[in-house]
Amino acid sequence: MKITVIGAGNVGATVAQLLANQELASEIIIVDVLEGIPEGKALDMYESMPIMGSDSKIFGTNSYEMTADSDIVIQTAGLARKPGMTRDDLLVKNAEIVSSCISNAFKYSPNAYYIIVSNPLDVMTFLAAKITNLPRHKVIGMAGILDTARYRSFISMELNVAMQDIQGMILGGHGDTMVPLPRFTTVAGIPLTDLLPKEKIDAICTRAANGGGEIVKYLKTGSAYYAPAAAAVQMVESIVRDQKRILPCSVMLEGEYGVSDVVVGVPVKLGKGGMEEILELKLNDEEMASFNNSVGHVRETIDEAKKLLNM
């Protein structure tokens, strides 16, 4: 298994380190435009492998030639959010960055699975799908896994219970219009709605929707990277080890949930075939209305990106 990580920043470097620590690939390539940065970080990681007990080989480069014949490509390169900046504010610059990166990677790895992490996530995944023209099961955005992880973390904080006992689901766009689903959330099989009053659940849902912005406010000069990297690596693990995990990811819809030609977060089965199945939840009227509102926002941003890139 050969995996390429595009971007040697905080997210990309953390992704590469986690991949190597878990030995999810025999060879990991970190590619970045900054001279010396991917090479230096990769060598540092490589030198940690004897301590971690991993035989993963890690190399850094400024050239895409070394990425040839990758099985999985993870796109993390892009500008980080700054205080007061929404994910959509990143649209223009990151659309240019992602388009260039994916085009270069696809030239050398046309058969790879592509996992997109760059923001605004749903739009960047849509661009990657259109640029590569790959079937939808091969281009997948990391969104709902991160959102749901934040949601589950806040539930754990409120109830003081083990993380592993909490299961939840968040649909829709990766941003302020995401759709947490308390009705599908359980703690050791117990419905969340039996454990917390509505006002507490609403507050948790709101904090989850603003989770990335909350971290940006603290960091001031950067954005989240530990949790986003862990989410991307969970996707890789499910594919590499054919785990068939049911995880919320951003994929191109073709009629599911009554939506077509838009990338948005839905529960999917991830295995050796990439996105192997989309699960359609039976949403009630309120949930469906929230989902359609989120889809509408993503579609508007996609349309804006199309105009900017003359697609």
Active site residues: 174
3-state secondary structure of 289: helix
| Contacts with 31 (C-beta within 8 Å, 6 or more apart), sequence order | 4, 5, 6, 7, 8, 38, 60, 61, 62, 63, 64, 66, 67, 105
Beta strands in the chain (DSSP E): 2-6, 27-31, 57-61, 72-75, 113-116, 139-141, 166-167, 170-171, 179-180, 186-187, 190-191, 245-254, 260-271, 274-278
Residue 60 CA to residue 8 CA, distance in Å, equals 9
Beta-carbon neighbour count of residue 265 at 10 Å?
33
3-state secondary structure of 119: coil
| Residue 306: both structure tokens together | 């199309």
For the chain, count helices (H), then strands (E).
9, 14
Report the first-to-last Cα separation within the chain, whole angstroms. Answer: 33
